Chain A
Amino acid sequence: MSDILLEAKAVAKHFGGVKALQDVSLAIRRGEIYGLIGPNGAGKTTFFNCMTGLYIPDGGGFVFDGQPLKADAPDRAAERGIARTFQNIRLFGNMTALENVMVGRHVRTKAGVFGAMLMNAATRAEEAAIRQRAIDLLHYVDIADRADDLAKNLSYGDQRRLEIARALATEPKLLCLDEPAAGMNATETEELRVLIEGIRKDGTTVLLIEHDVKLVMGLCDRVAVLDYGALVIEDVPAVVQKDQRVIEAYLGA
């Protein structure tokens, strides 16, 4: 088993004349927390979308867990073990928190229409397992008391947590978080940091897009910086922090 979980090879994406990504190559190792930062519009989310199959890259591609990742197939990406959250939270608003996480189990379960109609022993057992796992995950992210509330009625921070629980329900090898700390206060950010540490400790590799530089520098093992769609540097936080190009990119000097 290779040490590299995900490798991006010269990924390029443009929208009309805008080069959102220019030959970005980077590698994420198993078990690390990998940060992806950059100013607004640098191409972080585009990179995410290409990786999770929502966009088709115009050039290059990804190798995940030793196998190439098929473009334009988000459900296949989830099946392979890539789960993600969204920058502008995308929950199933009119479903309960518990149901949201139960949907996350979809890709790891298999009951079909006839199973549902007949409700045979296998289907009932699977359904009970789905429910139990979902409850466990709600406890894991600490919102079990909101299980029966509609997702859209949860507070902002709880919605972020629910999205992480739903992503974890797919049993990912790589969890991708798109600005999970956006809009959070210091306490909530600290709680989030503890949660992400815990997820890594439990064996899931984490890719983190974040604006909160303090959070990224404190949490990540390695950091990549994007600017105008190009990779500026990929290194440990201590080096990245001192890099002249990064400082320029952020301060616009």
Chain B
Amino acid sequence: MKNWLNPKSMTGIALIAIALIVLPHVVGMGGQAWVRILNFAILYVFLALGLNIVVGFAGLLDLGYIAFYAVGAYTWALLASPHFGLHFPLWAILPIGALMACVFGVLLGSPTLKLRGDYLAIVTLGFGEIIRIFLNNLNSPVNITNGPQGITLIDPVKIGDFSFSGTTQIFGFALSGPQKYYYLLVALAILVIIINVRLQHSRIGRAWQAIREDEIAAKAVGINTRNIKLLAFAMGASFGGIAGGIFSAMQGFVSPESFSLIESIMVLAMVVLGGMGHIPGVILGAVLLTFLPEVLRYAVGPVQMALFGKILIDPESLRMLIFGLALVLVMRFKPAGLWPSPERSRELSDKPVEAVK
């Protein structure tokens, strides 16, 4: 944080900015599908950072986090699609989506305040499933969510007359829909990251960490653990809700299938694998875990062809096998995550701590 205006950091920031601007065009050379994957990586960064508040900072293991993503996605879908004939503008839906997710965060949080660890994980797991099953079945007697068919023709993000779907010409450049969404997502991601860093180093962030470290001691120094925990659930959920809204608009379609348990587990894996509680690590984890399965999807088949001349193992199953193995290896050799916070890596390194008196 200190001296980030000095020339060296300025150069660094400028380089990162240029890289971020050029990235979708470079990636786009391989097809727009890759830009879409890139966009998903950024959405997962949102999700992972939101979950990091709950799991990384406050130490509350949440296995149903994707429910808030679903709430945000459906809020957008219902308020901006022909399903109800509503077409709310962006500045109205995004806050409503965040607020809805926040309400659900508190709903989940309040009955689980006394739970920790495994017990909390089971309750949140159930909660995530409840939301998905509700979405799946709320099509009768009154059709709210359109059940398993999902909701289609969702409005894209629009700012004024500028729509983020379809190709537009800007300064002689042709920008595709995914590329426009990319810039929107990067802008939002920077905002989310700044908010996260500020929260971490604030009075509230310290209170979260104190609860994670020792709840009884936290109470004894005067932290109202009930409110502070609810706040963690609410904040984490809001980030999920915003990500869900953008997801909905970007896809133009949502269905309950997108919010299964495996999604919750993936987001949790991003947080843990990247480095729990360490914002740069969590971002890295989200980007890696989004790209790795996709890269494997395209690479596993051709590599087998090159090595053995024929496809020995079905690429789809081999892909997930390699992915799973990679996760196991990372956790075995980097238990604190790929990029843990400096304090945590110091603690887990085998460098001897000072001699005991």
Contacts and interface: CB of A to CB of B under 8 A. Distances in A.
User: Looking at chain B's contact residues, is the secondary structure mostly helix, strand, loop, or mixed?
Assistant: helix
A106 B347 contact: no
Given A84-B220, A103-B223, A116 B213 contact: no
B300 interface: no
Interface residues of A, number: 47
Contact of B217 (A86, A94, A115, A127): A86
B48 to A, nearest CB: 19
B221 to A, nearest CB: 5
Interface in B127-145: none
Interface residues of B, number: 33
A79 interface: yes
Interface stretch (B66-74, B194-202, B301-309): B194-202
A119 B204 CA distance: 13
Contacts of A54: 216, 219-220
A116 B209 contact: no
A107 B221 contact: yes
A39 interface: no
A96 interface: yes
A111 B344 CA distance: 27
Contacts of A113: 199, 204, 231, 235
21 contacts: A53-B219, A78-B219, A78-B221, A83-B220, A84-B220, A92-B213, A92-B214, A92-B217, A92-B218, A93-B213, A95-B210, A106-B207, A106-B223, A107-B222, A115-B202, A117-B199, A127-B203, A156-B357, A167-B221, A170-B221, A170-B222
Given A54-B219, A74-B222, 14 more contacts: A52-B220, A54-B220, A74-B219, A78-B219, A91-B214, A93-B214, A94-B212, A103-B209, A103-B223, A104-B221, A107-B222, A113-B199, A116-B203, A150-B343
Interface of B: 195, 198-199, 202-207, 209-210, 212-214, 216-225, 231, 235, 343-344, 346-347, 353-354, 357
